[in-house]
């Protein structure tokens, strides 16, 4: 008779594939961190037998878009609490290193010293670790509950080699960036990411990105991009990404696809058919999406790119200068070619403060509200906050409409990524704690936008295939034992913009590498997670 560490009896297995019989009654055995599928009631013994009748048993969710790279390394116990929000919603693997920003690689001797002032969540600063192996070793020293994989950030490569400068890379600089990328991908990083709305990504032209994406193409790893514009010029930005993929040969993955701001609302009616056509023509294009009509990013990204040239000290010096602030006001009013102008596409009344560590009284309020209270111009309010916080302010931007979100979620090639920014303090975007149960509860059960099997596939098998996570994202004999057990009739998100870390309900158990890390909605304290090489 078979013997297991854990045996889940009586559940509805949804195996993570796109096959027509993806959902079926089966028992699931876990031994040595691997899975075995059994006929219902088949004779077997186990150290722990769980009756999961009436519940769904699925592969662990893969959050394909996070900014959680170093939260446990940098923020200690607070960081671990933040990471927990992800595990409690069933995420067993996070993909970090997104939007151009990763914690590696860096040239030896030019490593970024660890510290609050050096935390970068978007765009990219100099890496903290020399390579992927050092990144993995750092995480191994601070055990975590779930797994982490990482892309290589273009912004990190660029800052490390060139500094925060607004100019094209020289051939030698580009060669060094390609070499660092090549080493990181060879060591197990999952692909290349860009954040072309953020500095220093905004400073790079298309050719520079093509050269780097060609390195990813050699490994068959994806080019993952936060498009240069997700607002009024989203279609041109998508075409740039398509050009990069076509010229480099890299598979293309569009991060958190959205058409935001009043000029772009409804534009998914054009971007999604364009992607479908490209796929029909044979191009390997996918995307991810989070199930909310608000985004979250850095307050600094509301300013024209030239404001940040030279790094944070140069930015704060400009912000303190009334003449420079007038130029920024003008740039926002009139736009700058090639720059996604969030405020110009919406207004300061759609931008609320998520996290300003030293000015928590501003959190939850919009810049427009703060401006009225203080009798100041909104840009001056933003400038004062950025100076006082040394640039470290995150915001929530209520910039999308529901129809666009639903269209992207329903697209057959979209996966689910929270885009969570787990940063202790403040009122972060609720997506870090609610994304996956929100899709399964609100969009699957309540709205019927997707079938349960399709939603699970988007969260598991499709994501694992895209990011090279072999043996994950499916329930099959010999697959890695990363699992979620939930009640499809009850699963629901509770995190809101006012209470952003409230855990979901309906998730009974989360298993990582064969160990139960969440039981009855509570963490068990097990920390089997590690950095995964792809
Ligand atoms: Zn992004």
Q: Is the pLDDT of residue 117 over 60?
A: no
CA of 322 to the centre of ligand 1 (A): 30
**Predicted confidence band of residue 119 (pLDDT cuts 50, 70, 90):** low
pLDDT higher at 137 or 337: 137
Distance 425 CA to ligand 1 centre (A): 21
Cα(482) to centroid of ligand 1, in Å?
27
CA of 228 to the centre of ligand 1 (A): 10
DSSP line for 70-139:
THHHHSHHHHHHHHHHHHHTTEEEEEE--TT--S----TT-PPPPSGGG---SS--S-SSSSHHHHHHHH
* Per-residue pLDDT tens over the stretch 390-428: 888 999 999 999 999 999 999 999 999 999 988 778 888
Question: For 169-186, what is the mean pLDDT?
Answer: 98
Distance CA 489, CA 56 (A): 10
Q: 45-75 in b/e burial notation, b at 16+ Cβ within 10 A?
A: ebeeebebeebbbbbbbbbbbbbbbbbbbbb
Q: What is the mean pLDDT of the chain?
A: 94
> In whole angstroms, what is the distance from residue 176 CA to residue 12 CA?
51
Ligand 1 center–CA 254 separation, angstroms: 10
Interval 284-308: pLDDT, tens = 999 999 999 999 988 999 999 899 8
- Report CA(99)–ligand 1 centroid distance (Å): 5
Model pLDDT for residues 65-78, shown as the tens digit of each residue: 999 998 888 777 77
Rounded Cα–Cα distance for residues 30 and 479 (Å): 10
Ligand 1 centre to CA of 420 (Å) is: 10
């Amino acid at each position: 008779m078979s013997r297991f560490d854990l045996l889940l009896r009586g559940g509805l297995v949804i195996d993570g594939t796109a096959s027509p019989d993806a959902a079926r009654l089966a028992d699931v055995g876990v031994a040595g961190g691997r899975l075995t599928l059994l006929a219902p009631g088949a004779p077997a013994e186990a150290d722990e037998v769980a009756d999961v009748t009436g519940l769904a048993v699925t592969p662990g969710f893969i959050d394909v878009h996070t900014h959680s790279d170093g939260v446990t390394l940098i923020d200690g116990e607070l960081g671990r609490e933040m990471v927990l929000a992800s595990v409690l919603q069933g995420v067993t693997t996070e993909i970090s290193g997104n939007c151009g920003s990763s914690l590696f690689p860096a040239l030896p001797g030019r490593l970024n010293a660890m510290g609050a002032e050096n935390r970068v969540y978007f765009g990219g600063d100099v890496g903290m670790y020399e390579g992927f192996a050092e990144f993995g070793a750092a995480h191994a020293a601070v055990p975590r509950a779930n797994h982490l994989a990482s892309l290589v950030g273009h912004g990190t490569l660029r800052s490390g080699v060139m500094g925060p400068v607004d100019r094209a890379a020289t051939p030698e600089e580009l060669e060094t960036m390609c070499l660092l990328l090549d080493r990181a991908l060879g060591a197990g990083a999952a692909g290349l990411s860009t954040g072309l709305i953020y500095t220093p990504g905004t400073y790079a032209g298309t050719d520079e990105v093509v050269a780097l994406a060609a390195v990813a193409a050699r490994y068959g790893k994806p080019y993952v991009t936060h498009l240069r514009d997700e607002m009024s010029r989203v279609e041109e930005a998508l075409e740039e990404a398509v050009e990069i993929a076509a010229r480099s040969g890299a598979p293309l993955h569009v991060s958190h696809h959205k058409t935001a701001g009043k000029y772009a609302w409804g534009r998914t009616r054009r971007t999604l058919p364009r992607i479908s056509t490209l796929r029909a023509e044979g191009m390997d294009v996918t995307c991810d999406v989070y199930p909310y009509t608000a985004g979250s990013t850095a307050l600094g990204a509301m300013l024209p790119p030239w404001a940040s040239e030279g790094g944070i000290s140069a930015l704060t010096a400009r912000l303190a200068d009334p003449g420079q602030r007038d130029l920024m006001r003008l740039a926002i009013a009139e736009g700058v070619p090639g720059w996604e102008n969030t405020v110009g596409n919406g207004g300061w009344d759609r931008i609320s403060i998520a996290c300003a560590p030293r000015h928590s009284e501003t959190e939850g309020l919009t810049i427009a509200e703060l401006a009225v209270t203080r009798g100041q111009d909104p840009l001056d309010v933003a400038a004062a906050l950025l100076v006082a916080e040394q640039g470290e302010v995150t915001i929530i931007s209520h910039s999308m409409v529901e129809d666009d979100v639903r269209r992207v979620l329903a697209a057959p090639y979209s996966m689910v990524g929270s885009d969570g920014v787990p940063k202790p303090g403040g009122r972060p975007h609720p997506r870090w704690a609610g994304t996956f149960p929100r899709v399964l509860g609100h969009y699957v059960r309540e709205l019927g936008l997707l079938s349960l099997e399709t939603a699970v596939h988007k969260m598991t098998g499709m994501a694992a295939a895209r990011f090279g996570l072999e043996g994950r994202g499916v329930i099959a004999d010999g697959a890695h034992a990363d699992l979620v057990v939930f009640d499809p009739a009850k699963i629901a998100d509770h995190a809101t913009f006012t209470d952003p870390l409230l855990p979901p309900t309906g998730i009974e158990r989360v298993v990582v590498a064969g160990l139960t890390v969440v039981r009855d909605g509570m963490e068990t304290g097990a920390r089997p997670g590690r950095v995964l090489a792809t």
